[in-house]
Amino acid sequence: MAEIIDMPKLSDTMSVGTLIKWNVKEGQTVAFGDILGEVETDKATMELSCTVPGTILKIYAPGGSQLPVGAPICAIGKSGEVAPNPAAPTPKAAATSTPPIAESTGVACVPPAPAATSSGTSAPRTSNDERVKASPYAKRMAEKAALNIAALNGTGPGGRILGRDVNAAAQAPAAAPVATAPAGPLNVTVPAPADGKGIQPDADIPVGGMRQTIARRLLESKVTVPHFYLEVEVDAAPLLAIRESINKRLAETGGPDAVKLSVNDFILKGSAEALRRVPAVNASWAGTSIRAHGAVHLSFGVALEDGLVTPVIHDAQAKSLKEIAVEAKGLISKARAKKLTPNEMSGSTFTVTNLGMYGVTGFYGIINVPNAAILSVGATIKKPVVDASDRIVIGQRMVIGLSGDHRVVDGATAAQFLQALKLVLEDPTLMLI
């Protein structure tokens, strides 16, 4: 008997999803685990896996549709079987309608970026200012291959440009690079205006559900949560020294597959240890009470081309520095491959956001509700400092900021947390015991 496949709930806060594209066609045989298509949730773009083997009898919603959770998207059954015809809401075009946005617990501080589409890049346009229809994956492929996506012919529904179209163009002898603006940290490229004036075409860029959620949740956090801010300067020299020593030993004993610790791994482990010492920060506002969390579930920001995701390291207080490093790298890889599960993006009790790799020396993140605080990490810089003997020497300093929810955390408690974190980071051997 044919089975109807509904729009799945791919995150704990998802109520609406955008069916970005289909990887299958009606009449195609699919097996368990095959990737049917891509769905954009309120947090990320994720692959839709097949859970019912059989034949695609009917596709109810075309690529680009926005649908509520539970809406039928396709039917799978035996070859030759008649597909059911359920009463379903009419899908709306993603670029012309604004769906209701679900609650999200995975939004942290977002670095400034150019005006973007739901894929995180400026919307390519033709010379007559028509927006090019292309999947986010195709746009990313075109950027990496330095191709003008507006010049490609799409083979998808309605002429939509797909990854295979970009791949074919990249392999063609006549393929030519497109003139672009200098790439930013995320290698974002902007097609030059057809008239050669300005830095990009004037346009109103539609945004996807993920970007809408980021905007709404950050606004909600700033408006409804009484933020306060503290910062501390940390002597990063001991941390950098022990990191170099550990990485050298790991490389010697582990070969090419050895784990390499990053500064952020130390920050995550240090945060877990500081929360152990000052657990009042590991809490959240519950309306008429303060909810204390017994376990430390650390979320950290991962910037992608189509937005920001915050995967979570659960029970970080029980994990070693190496375990946290391995798990963080795995979550980053899964985030970039759109493989994160709902559990891996939910349940955080504290958030770390790091812009040091962009050269930012200090900033304050917006609290990731319902967390009581977010830690903001800047770059390590060399600067003149006064040592214990009152000599001016070259030191390596890192500025760490904390944004706190004053309903949950008082200034003195937040200061104690930063003191504990500073202690651990300046004596990183404390993380190893």
Please indicate, yes or no, if residue 116 is contained in any of the structural domains.
no
Together in a domain, 195 and 243: no
Q: Are 305 and 120 in contact (CB under 8 A)?
A: yes
Together in a domain, 276 and 424: yes
> Within 13 Å and on the Cβ side, how many CA atoms surround 36?
31
> Tokens for 164?
């295979």
> Cα(369)–Cα(325) distance, rounded to whole angstroms?
25
In the chain, the N- to C-terminal Cα span, in Å, equals: 59
Please indicate, yes or no, if residue 60 is contained in any of the structural domains.
yes
Please indicate, yes or no, if residue 114 is contained in any of the structural domains.
no
Residue found under tokens 């979320």: 299
3-class DSSP state for residue 138? helix
Together in a domain, 189 and 308: no
What CATH number corresponds to the domain at position 418? Answer: 3.30.559.10
Number of structural domains, the chain?
Answer: 3
Please indicate, yes or no, if residue 284 is contained in any of the structural domains.
yes
Low pLDDT (below 70) residues in the chain: 11-13, 42-43, 87-132, 136-137, 140-141, 143-146, 148, 151, 153, 156-159, 163-165, 167-168, 170-191, 256-257, 306
Q: From edge to edge, which strands make up the β-sheet containing 227-235?
A: 227-235, 392-405, 373-386, 350-354, 298-300, 312-313
Where in the sequence is the domain holding 61, given as residue range(s)? 3-93
pLDDT the model gives residue 15: 78
> Within 13 Å and on the Cβ side, how many CA atoms surround 278?
23
Together in a domain, 140 and 255: no
* CA-closest candidate to residue 211, choices 114, 137, 312, 116: 116
pTM over 0.85: no
> Cα(333)–Cα(158) distance, rounded to whole angstroms?
32
Which residues are annotated as catalytic? 406
385 φ/ψ angles, rounded to the nearest 5 degrees:
-135, 160
pLDDT the model gives residue 215: 83
User: Please, which residues have CB within 8 angstroms of residue 391's CB and are 6 or more apart in sequence?
Assistant: none
> Cα(212)–Cα(201) distance, rounded to whole angstroms?
22
